[in-house]
Amino acid sequence: MAQIVGLAVLCGVGAELLAAYAETTGNLGGVTFSLVFFAALYGAPALLARELVRRAGWGWPSLLVIFLALGVTQACLIDQAMFSIDYQGYEGWEATREATLIPGTGVGAFNLYNFLGGHLIFSFGAPVALAEAWRPAHRERSWLGPIGIIVALVAYIVAAVLILADPESHSASPTQLALSALTVLALLTLAALVGRSHRRNVARTPVEPVETPRRFAPAEAPPVWVVFVVVLVLALAAGFADENWAGVGLGVGATVLTALLVWRLSRGRGWGARHVAAVAVPFLLVRGSLAFTYFPLAGSVEPVAKYTHNVIMLLIVLLASWFALRKDTARHDPMDRASRNPTSSIR
pLDDT in tens, 95-142: 999 999 999 899 999 999 999 999 999 999 999 999 999 999 988 899
Tell me, letter by letter, the H, E, C secondary structure of 259-301.
HHHHHHHCCCECCCHHHHHHHHHHHHHHHHHHHHHCCCCCCCC
Burial (0-12, 13-18, 19+ Cβ within 10 Å), 246 = exposed
Q: Give me the pLDDT at residue 343, please.
A: 36
Cα distances (Å, whole numbers) of residue 299 to 24, 25, 35, 296: 8, 9, 19, 7
Cα 284 to the center of its chain, rounded Å: 9
Per-residue pLDDT for 71 more than 60? Answer: yes
Q: Where are the domains of the chain?
A: 2-346
Q: Percent of the chain scored above 70 by pLDDT? A: 90
In which band, very low, low, confident or very high, does the pLDDT at 214 lie, cut at 50, 70 and 90?
A: low
Among the listed residues 55, 56, 50, 90, the one whose alpha carbon sits nearest the alpha carbon of residue 70: 50
Query: What mean pLDDT do residues 172-186 have?
Result: 97
Q: Between the ranges 204-208, 231-235, 341-345, where is the mean pLDDT highest?
A: 231-235
Mean pLDDT of the chain: 90
Q: Give me the pLDDT at residue 202, please.
A: 76
Q: Give me the pLDDT at residue 171, please.
A: 92
CA 76/CA 187 separation, integer angstroms: 14
Per-residue pLDDT for 180 more than 80? Answer: yes
pTM for the complete prediction? Answer: 0.90
Residue type for position 135: R
pLDDT in tens, 251-310: 999 999 999 999 999 988 999 999 999 999 999 999 999 999 999 988 889 999 999 999
Per-residue pLDDT for 59 more than 70? Answer: yes
* Cα distance from N-terminal residue to C-terminal residue, the chain: 29
Q: Give me the pLDDT at residue 295, please.
A: 93
